[in-house]
Structure 1
């Protein structure tokens, strides 16, 4: 019986892990549009993109982009 409970714990952990892969930070519509526009100009140069959006880091921008537009799904 403990094995059954353990397997359900793994399912919960998997769900949590998948939700952590998506962007935790909320972006406004204007920020999303700006990210897409600058990405089209400079590509995956996250620090350049983040430099155009006050208060955002390159890591936040990259995490947002890959969670939203990843082609590996």
Structure 2
């Protein structure tokens, strides 16, 4: 039984981190509507990322902040 446990956990860490990186890169692609809304909301509320993210379904405050800091 111990040998099967070793086999099942041998590559979990490396494949998971690759999947997380690629999904993060895909999520950081924003539509034109999202970009426009982020810009308008930023002018209204500033760096209150959670408020901005609350107006965009499926986006977290961290994603919005990362998008903003990478663009501006």
The verdict on a shared fold, with TM-score over 0.5 as the criterion, is yes
CA distance in 2, matches of 1:66, 1:58: 12
Structure 2 unaligned residues grouped into runs of 5+:
1-20
Q: 50, 57, 65: which is aligned to 1:54?
A: 57
Larger radius of gyration: 2
- Work out which structure has the larger RCO, using CA pairs closer than 8 Å and 6 or more positions apart in sequence: 1
Specify the alignment match of 1:34 in structure 2. Answer: 37
| 1:44 Cα deviation after fit | 0.1
Scaled by the length of structure 2, the TM-score of the pair is 0.63
What do you get for the CA RMSD once the two structures are aligned? 1.6
Specify the alignment match of 2:7 in structure 1. Answer: none
Structure 1 unaligned residues grouped into runs of 5+:
1-19
